[in-house]
Amino acid sequence: MLHIRDLRTSILEPASLALSAGECIAVRGPSGAGKTLLLRAIADLDPNQGFVTLDGRDRSTIPGPEWRRLVGYVPAEPGWWAETVGEHFRDWAAARACLKELGFSEETKSWPVSRMSTGERLRFALVRALTVRPRVLLLDEPTAALDAGAVAAVEALIASRVRGGLAVLWVTHDEPQTRRIACRQLVVEKGRVREADQ
């Protein structure tokens, strides 16, 4: 579904990969190797060159905002722009079910952003990205600051979406998690992206 050929930036070496609907690929590699840059380049948040298509549609023919609604990205440190949690959701009704799956109640809507912990921010950002209904989701260590129970809930939520056809690129440092969530692995080292040996 998502085809990438020779995607490169000033730091990233040309990278090629294909991601099918309902597939989850784990992305591993040491810190600073370029994993985040790879995701940002796919989401078209940084200047980059190369050929990217989604369902055969060339990315360069799709306006940036529309592309990012199709290919969502959740960074390791999600950003917030308003005072309360609810203001960050265009469609709170759609978010409610997801948040419930992750153990959050209705009253979180009025929480001030400043009160959220790092782990809560990650989960709200994930739900925020899911409510846009992307075809592809790029996740940058979405469970890095979570306890075991919350990790399981996030993995279950994403797994259910993957079964529904969502394609996922998931950056993680956690080896057991890699085996739980993904059937393929990419390794990023010094700006070079390659498929891991199975």
Partner 1 sequence: MTGYIVLNYWDLALASVLVLVDAALSIIFGLRIHRGLLVAAVRMTVQLMLVGLVLTALFSVVSPLLTGLTVLGMILFAGQEVILRQERRLSGWWSYGLGTGCMMMSSILVTTFALLTALRPNPWYDPRYAIPLLGMILGNCMTGIALGLNTLTTTLVTRRAGVEAQLMLGASRWDAVAPVTRDALRSALMPTINSMAATGLVSLPGMMTGQILGGVPPVEAVKYQILVMFLIAGGTGFGAVAAVLGGIYRLTDGRHRLRLDRLIGPRRV
Q: Which window, 50-58, 71-79, 101-109, 190-198, contacts partner 1 (CB under 8 A)?
A: 71-79
x/- binding map, residues 27-66, to partner 1, per CB under 8 A? ----------------xxxxx---------------xxxx
- The amino acid present at 25, given as its one-letter code, is I
Instruction: Tell whether residue 111 is a contact of partner 1 (CB under 8 A).
Output: no
Question: Distance (Å, rounded) from C-alpha 23 to C-alpha 79?
Answer: 27
Site string for partner 1, 117-156 (x = CB under 8 A): --------x--xx--x------------------------
Cβ-in-10-Å burial (0-12, 13-18, 19+) of 147 comes to exposed
Number of residues lying near partner 1 (CB under 8 A): 26
CB-based burial, 171-184: b 16+ in 10 Å, e otherwise: bbeeeeebeebbeb
Separation between Cα atoms, residue 6 and residue 119, nearest integer Å:
34
Interface residues with partner 1 (CB under 8 A)?
A: 43-47, 63-66, 68-69, 72-75, 77-81, 88, 90, 125, 128-129, 132
